[in-house]
Amino acid sequence: MVDITHKSNTLRIATAQAIVKVSSQATINAIQNDTVPKGNVFAMSKAAGLLGVKKTPELLPDCHPMPIEFTGVTYEIEGLNVVVKVTVKTIYKTGVEVEAMHGASVVALNMYDMLKPIDKGVEIHAIKLLQKKGGKTSYPVKDVSEVKAAVIVCSDTIFEGKGEDKSGKLIKEKLEGYQVTTKEVEVVPDDFDTIQQRVLALKEEFSLIVLTGGTGLSARDTTPEAILPLLDKRIVGAEETIRRYGQERMPYAMLSRSVVGTIDNNCLVLALPGSSKGVVESLDAVFPHLFHSYKVLTGERH
- What spatial distance separates the first Cα and last Cα of the chain, rounded to whole Å? 34
| DSSP element (H, E) containing 190 | none
- Peptide bond between residue 288 and the one before it cis (omega within 30 degrees of 0): yes
d(CA 75, CA 217): 60
d(CA 266, CA 264): 5
Residues with a catalytic annotation lie at: 113
Task: State the amino acid at position 268 in one-letter form.
Answer: L
- Peptide bond between residue 37 and the one before it cis (omega within 30 degrees of 0): no
CA angle 245, 68, 34 (to 5 degrees): 170
Q: Pick from 42, 114, 43: which is nearest to 83 by CA?
A: 42
Provide the H-helix boundaries in 88-155: 97-115
Task: State the amino acid at position 3 in one-letter form.
Answer: D
Whether the Cβ atoms of residue 262 and residue 293 lie closer than 8 Å to each other? yes
Whether the Cβ atoms of residue 291 and residue 178 lie closer than 8 Å to each other? yes
